A = this chain, B = another copy of it.
Amino acid sequence: MTTPEDAPLLELAGLAAYVRLGLFGLVGAHTLGAPDLEAAHRMMTVAVRVGEQQQKLLAIGAERGVEPVELMRPFLGVLDSFDARTVQSTWWEGLLKGIVGHGVSSDLCRLLARGLPDDDEAAVVGAMTYEADESDRVTSVVRAATDADPRLGSRLALWGRRVVGESLSLCQELLATRPGLAELARRAAAASGGDAPVDAVAWAMSELTAEHTRRMDRMGLAA
């Protein structure tokens, strides 16, 4: 049974699951048109992991009596404007969009999960856990390509800045309009220590930006 106390958890799991549905389509489609069989196989492996993560997130809802589609429904369309503003013009741009978008959304969900009771935090973080070598599978495809072609690297660095800008705007919009997520951000920010009162949204944006910079560094791209 759903209780009011579950609302932030369900909102977070629903968001994370819905984002993974969109991401799955993007990464899954990238098995087509991959530069070689290795890259296609890596895309598929990563997409399957994203799918498995989504199933675990949906299970969090199901254990509380919320059907998969109903868990995601409140977020229907939430990526549309992001997608419209980040239409990739090449296979590589689409791939980087997936990496950046997935990275930012996963980081946001992990940050917000810190505002949940410990058991619930563990359930959300556990659902999104990802072997380190899984994400290496994709970033190494980008790294190899940009090492071989520096012009591709500078085009992708520029593109990455656009995608991260849109991703952070979307995060801000979600925190401004979804009460459960906003509450989690306040709790997580308060728990992050320090004596001064913390602006939860500003705190989250700075954490997300720092993680994004590390991720771009790993791909050899200027953030």
Residues of A within 8 A of B (CB): 21-22, 24-32, 37-38, 40-41, 44-45, 47-48, 51-52, 54-55, 68-69, 72-73, 76
Say whether A21 contacts B31, CB under 8 Å.
Answer: yes
Say whether A73 contacts B37, CB under 8 Å.
Answer: yes
Query: Which chain B positions have C-beta within 8 A of A25?
Result: 28-32, 40, 44
Say whether B29 contacts A32, CB under 8 Å.
Answer: yes
Q: How many Å lie between the Cα of A30 and that of B47 in the bound state?
A: 13
Query: Which chain B positions have C-beta within 8 A of A73?
Result: 37
Query: Measured between C-beta atoms, what is the minimum distance from A101 to chain B in Å?
Result: 14
Query: Which chain B positions have C-beta within 8 A of A22?
Result: 31-32
Say whether A28 contacts B24, CB under 8 Å.
Answer: yes
Say whether A41 contacts B68, CB under 8 Å.
Answer: yes
| Across the A-B interface, the 6 shortest Cβ-Cβ residue pairs | A28-B28, A48-B51, A29-B29, A25-B31, A25-B32, A24-B44
A32's nearest neighbour on chain B, judged by CB, is B25
Q: How many Å lie between the Cα of A47 and that of B29 in the bound state?
A: 11
Query: Which chain B positions have C-beta within 8 A of A45?
Result: 51, 55
Q: List 27 A-B contacts (CB under 8 A).
A: A21-B41, A21-B44, A22-B32, A24-B28, A24-B47, A25-B29, A25-B31, A25-B40, A25-B44, A26-B32, A27-B28, A28-B28, A28-B31, A28-B47, A29-B29, A37-B69, A37-B76, A38-B69, A41-B68, A41-B69, A41-B72, A44-B51, A45-B51, A47-B47, A48-B51, A48-B55, A51-B51
